[in-house]
């Protein structure tokens, strides 16, 4: 390799590397630009009211939060997600068989959220529920807990 | 009078259309018409060869652009105003329902015609050499059409729109590794909300139409460069070697050689006297007519028929508008747009296999068709296998869509369309 070829090759390599990295960085910037830095969505952790607001027996469905709040006389509070794990439809809890039914593709979840029927790939989520300092119940959707989790008040 | 003539002449700059020169100049001196050749083969224009499906698709796209721009004047892509604007378009805006109906039926028509056009190109073997890559462009145009239809589906922000897009984008999130992130990128959030509406709007009115226009230009250009519409199957020449004679007519001995089927000949020079070689057989020359008026009249009639059909449909069939989108209440059953119901049917059996693997394989197979099918013959009797395979593919898709559309009731249970379910399973 003579001097001329050497320089041609090196400049070519440097140029190509610069071009490729410029394109790469630009693409990464575009993807990052499209990922919102702020979500104007309902918060993932929120308060749902005092324990006295929830009657025993049938779960209460919170529309905005898409959760079912169970209040058992002996065991206490538990909170289930109402979002079907298949394709995100809102499941309905039937008092008659105490199961969750999805209207979209017919998935059925047992009382503990486990899949009994249909295409759902996994059980319904259960969320952590705690008692906040002001006496209200606080649900955190970021914290998934086992279906046996209960909050005794 | 002379001045008027001069002005007219300064605009058109061609000879009278009563002459052949004028007819040619009309085509190649006009920027809008010059995508046509000056002369076309009569048989290639036969309706029973192409059913004019490509043209119809293109004209539907023109209708969509015009009505879409009109609708944009009364639409704000922001919940809940978006829904209120739909109500205004439905009840307040002059001709609002008519425009909205036209936009919707043209959109559905475009999905149908793009698909039928693809079938026609397949059955006539028109994707074969040298048109392989134009088929690939066509597949991308089909995908863009579906994308346009899907993004437009959300914009009314009613229950139908909201849940179709919720289900539709969740199907995408099953794609391994990147599915979830792609969905978030598309929605601009974790669920279908105001960010998603704005993004779908931007895709629907700017990004996707621009891509369709760009690819359509390439698509048309390549059709033109490959000699216009493909030869109808019934006009294909018999597979025998044709011999042509090359040589000077008088002194030298004529040379007889095999005619090339792969080369094309252009005019190199003009000489007086008898031609020393032929590029076009007499039979082919007879078969050719000027684009003006033969091709243009057919196109104009197709355009008028397309517009009229959409207008008549829009007079009698109303685009649906349900109640305001309600994230808490899933309609039962919740269905994706009809052309994705085959997909939803597959997804109801297995989300990963049906929602990701099967459609990905389908698209890849479509793209690869011209490179897999290397049989050069376009005659149906030489292509029995491929024709059967493609027919099975088409029928399977249709059957799945019909099942998803008409045979799925509340809870996605199998319910025949003639059985009326009251109230659902609540």
Tally of domains in chain B: 1
In a domain, A78, yes or no: yes
Do A55 and A111 sit in the same domain of this protein?
Answer: yes
Task: Give me Rg for the CA atoms of chain B.
Answer: 26
Which pLDDT does position B235 carry in this prediction?
Answer: 80
Q: How far apart are CA A74 and CA A60, in angstroms?
A: 17
In a domain, B252, yes or no: no
Do A29 and A87 sit in the same domain of this protein?
Answer: no
Selected residue of B78, B162, B165, B167 to mutate for chain A interface (largest A Cβ count, 10 A):
B167
Q: What is the mean pLDDT of residues B11-15?
A: 92
Q: Does B180 touch chain A (CB under 8 A)?
A: no
Do A28 and A70 sit in the same domain of this protein?
Answer: no
Q: How far apart are CA A95 and CA A100, in angstroms?
A: 9
In a domain, A151, yes or no: no
Shortest CA distance from B186: residue in chain A: A34
**Are A103 and B411 an interchain contact pair (Cβ–Cβ within 8 Å)?**
yes
Whether B175 has a pLDDT exceeding 90, the answer reads no
CB contacts, 8 Å: B189 with chain A: 36, 39-41
Tally of domains in chain A: 2
Do A88 and A111 sit in the same domain of this protein?
Answer: yes
With cut-offs at 50, 70 and 90, classify the pLDDT of residue B167.
confident
pLDDT per position as a tens digit, A87-112: 888 899 998 889 999 887 888 999 99
Q: What is the mean pLDDT of residues B282-286?
A: 62
In a domain, A40, yes or no: no
In a domain, A152, yes or no: no
| CB nearest to B189's CB, from A39, A66, A101 | A39
With cut-offs at 50, 70 and 90, classify the pLDDT of residue B243.
low
CATH of the domain at A128: 2.102.10.10
In a domain, A5, yes or no: yes
In a domain, A153, yes or no: no
Q: How far apart are CA B74 and CA B90, in angstroms?
A: 11
With cut-offs at 50, 70 and 90, classify the pLDDT of residue B425.
very low
Higher pLDDT, A50 or B352: A50
Query: A79: buried, middle or exposed (CB in 10 Å: 19+, 13-18, 0-12)?
Result: buried
Whether B372 has a pLDDT exceeding 90, the answer reads yes
pLDDT per position as a tens digit, B111-149: 999 999 999 999 999 999 899 999 999 999 999 999 999
In a domain, B271, yes or no: no
With cut-offs at 50, 70 and 90, classify the pLDDT of residue B426.
very low
**Are A103 and B333 an interchain contact pair (Cβ–Cβ within 8 Å)?**
yes
**Are B413 and A66 an interchain contact pair (Cβ–Cβ within 8 Å)?**
no
Cβ pair B356, B192 in contact under 8 A = no
Cβ pair B149, B68 in contact under 8 A = no
DSSP designation for B69: H
**Are B167 and A119 an interchain contact pair (Cβ–Cβ within 8 Å)?**
no
Which pLDDT does position B145 carry in this prediction?
Answer: 97
ipTM of the complex: 0.79
**Are B193 and A101 an interchain contact pair (Cβ–Cβ within 8 Å)?**
no
Q: Does A64 touch chain B (CB under 8 A)?
A: yes
Whether B283 has a pLDDT exceeding 80, the answer reads no
Whether B250 has a pLDDT exceeding 70, the answer reads no
In a domain, B174, yes or no: yes
With cut-offs at 50, 70 and 90, classify the pLDDT of residue B366.
very high
Preceding peptide of A131 cis, ω within 30°: no
pLDDT per position as a tens digit, B59-97: 999 999 999 999 999 999 999 899 999 999 999 999 999
Domain containing residue A80 = 45-145
Cβ pair A51, A137 in contact under 8 A = yes
pLDDT per position as a tens digit, B23-66: 999 998 999 998 998 888 888 899 999 999 999 999 999 999 99
Do A87 and A27 sit in the same domain of this protein?
Answer: no
- Which residues 384-413 of B have a C-beta within 8 angstroms of A? 410-413
Whether A72 has a pLDDT exceeding 70, the answer reads yes
Q: Does B421 touch chain A (CB under 8 A)?
A: no
Q: What is the mean pLDDT of residues B195-215?
A: 97
Do A134 and A76 sit in the same domain of this protein?
Answer: yes
Helix or strand or coil: residue A99? strand
In a domain, A108, yes or no: yes
| CB nearest to B330's CB, from A103, A118, A119 | A103
In a domain, B426, yes or no: no
Selected residue of B193, B328, B345, B349 to mutate for chain A interface (largest A Cβ count, 10 A):
B328
Do A4 and A65 sit in the same domain of this protein?
Answer: no
Query: A46: buried, middle or exposed (CB in 10 Å: 19+, 13-18, 0-12)?
Result: middle
In a domain, B248, yes or no: no
Closest Cα of chain A to B199: distance in Å? Answer: 10
CATH of the domain at B334: 1.20.810.10
Q: How far apart are CA B33 and CA B239, in angstroms?
A: 35
Q: What percent of chain A shows pLDDT beyond 70?
A: 100
Do A28 and A87 sit in the same domain of this protein?
Answer: no
| CB nearest to B350's CB, from A66, A101, A119 | A119
Asked which of B17-31, B102-116, B205-219 is least confident by mean pLDDT, the reply is B17-31
In a domain, B408, yes or no: no
CB contacts, 8 Å: B411 with chain A: 101-103, 106
Domain containing residue B199 = 39-229+289-375
Whether B279 has a pLDDT exceeding 60, the answer reads no
Whether B281 has a pLDDT exceeding 70, the answer reads no
> For all residues of chain B together, what is the average pLDDT?
87
DSSP string for B140-177: HHHHHHHHHHHHHHHTT-BHHHHHHHHHHHHHHTTSTT
pLDDT per position as a tens digit, B255-270: 666 666 566 555 555 5
Do A82 and A135 sit in the same domain of this protein?
Answer: yes
Max CA separation in chain B (angstroms): 97
Whether A144 has a pLDDT exceeding 60, the answer reads yes
Whether B420 has a pLDDT exceeding 80, the answer reads no
The torsion angles phi and psi of B350, rounded to 5 degrees, stand at -155, 125
Do A63 and A30 sit in the same domain of this protein?
Answer: no
In a domain, A150, yes or no: no
Q: Does A96 touch chain B (CB under 8 A)?
A: no
Cβ pair B377, B125 in contact under 8 A = yes
Shortest CA distance from A65: residue in chain B: B328
CB contacts, 8 Å: A121 with chain B: 351-352
Do A74 and A112 sit in the same domain of this protein?
Answer: yes
**Are B347 and A119 an interchain contact pair (Cβ–Cβ within 8 Å)?**
yes
């Amino acid at each position: 390799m003579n001097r001329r070829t050497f320089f041609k090759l090196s400049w070519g390599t440097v140029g190509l590397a610069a071009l490729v990295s410029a394109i790469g960085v630009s693409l990464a910037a575009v993807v990052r630009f499209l990922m919102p830095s702020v979500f104007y969505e309902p918060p993932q952790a929120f308060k749902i009211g005092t324990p006295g607001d929830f009657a025993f027996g049938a779960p209460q469905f919170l529309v905005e939060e898409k959760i079912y709040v169970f209040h058992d006389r002996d065991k206490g509070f538990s909170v289930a997600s109402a979002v079907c794990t298949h394709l995100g439809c809102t499941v309905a809890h039937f008092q008659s068989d105490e199961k969750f039914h999805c209207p979209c593709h017919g998935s059925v979840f047992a009382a503990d959220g486990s899949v009994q029927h249909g295409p759902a790939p996994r059980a319904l989520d259960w969320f952590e529920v705690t008692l906040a300092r002001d006496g209200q119940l606080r649900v955190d959707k970021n914290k998934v807990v086992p279906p046996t989790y209960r909050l005794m008040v | 009078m002379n001045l008027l003539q001069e002005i007219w002449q300064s605009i058109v700059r061609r000879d009278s259309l009563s002459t052949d020169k004028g007819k040619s100049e009309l085509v190649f001196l006009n920027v809008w018409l010059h995508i046509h050749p000056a002369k076309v083969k009569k048989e290639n224009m036969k309706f029973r060869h192409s059913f004019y499906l490509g043209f119809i698709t293109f004209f539907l796209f023109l209708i969509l652009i015009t009505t879409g721009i009109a609708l944009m004047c009364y639409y704000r892509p922001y919940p809940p105003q978006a829904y209120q604007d739909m109500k205004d378009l439905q009840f307040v805006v002059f001709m609002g329902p008519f425009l909205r109906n036209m936009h919707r039926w043209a959109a559905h028509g475009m999905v149908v015609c793009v698909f039928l056009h693809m079938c026609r190109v397949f059955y006539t073997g028109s994707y074969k050499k040298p048109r392989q890559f134009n088929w690939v462009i066509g597949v991308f145009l089909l995908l863009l059409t579906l994308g346009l239809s899907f993004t437009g589906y959300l914009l009314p922000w009613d229950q139908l729109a909201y849940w179709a897009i919720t289900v539709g984008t969740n199907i995408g999130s099953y794609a391994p590794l990147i599915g979830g992130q792609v969905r978030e990128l598309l929605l601009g959030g974790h669920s279908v909300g105001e960010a998603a509406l704005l993004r779908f709007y931007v895709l629907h009115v700017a990004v996707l139409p621009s891509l369709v226009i760009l690819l359509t230009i390439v698509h048309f250009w390549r059709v033109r460069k490959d000699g216009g519409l493909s030869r109808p199957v019934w006009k294909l020449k018999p597979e025998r070697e044709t011999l042509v004679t090359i040589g000077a007519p008088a002194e030298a001995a004529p040379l007889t050689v095999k005619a090339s089927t792969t080369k094309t000949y252009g005019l190199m020079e003009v000489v007086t006297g008898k031609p020393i070689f032929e590029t076009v057989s007499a039979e082919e020359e007879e078969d050719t007519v000027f684009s003006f008026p033969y091709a243009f009249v057919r196109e104009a009639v197709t355009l008028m028929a397309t517009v009229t059909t959409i207008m008549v449909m829009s007079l009698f069939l109303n685009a649906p508008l349900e109640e305001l989108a309600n994230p808490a209440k899933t309609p039962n059953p919740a269905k994706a747009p009809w052309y994705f119901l085959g997909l939803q049917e597959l997804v109801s059996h297995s989300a990963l296999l049906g929602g990701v693997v099967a459609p990905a394989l389908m698209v890849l197979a479509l793209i690869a068709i011209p490179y897999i099918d290397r049989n050069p013959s376009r005659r149906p009797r030489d292509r029995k296998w491929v024709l059967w395979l493609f027919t099975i593919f088409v029928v399977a898709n249709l059957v799945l869509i019909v099942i998803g559309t008409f045979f799925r009731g509340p809870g996605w249970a199998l319910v025949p369309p003639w059985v009326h379910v009251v109230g659902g399973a609540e």
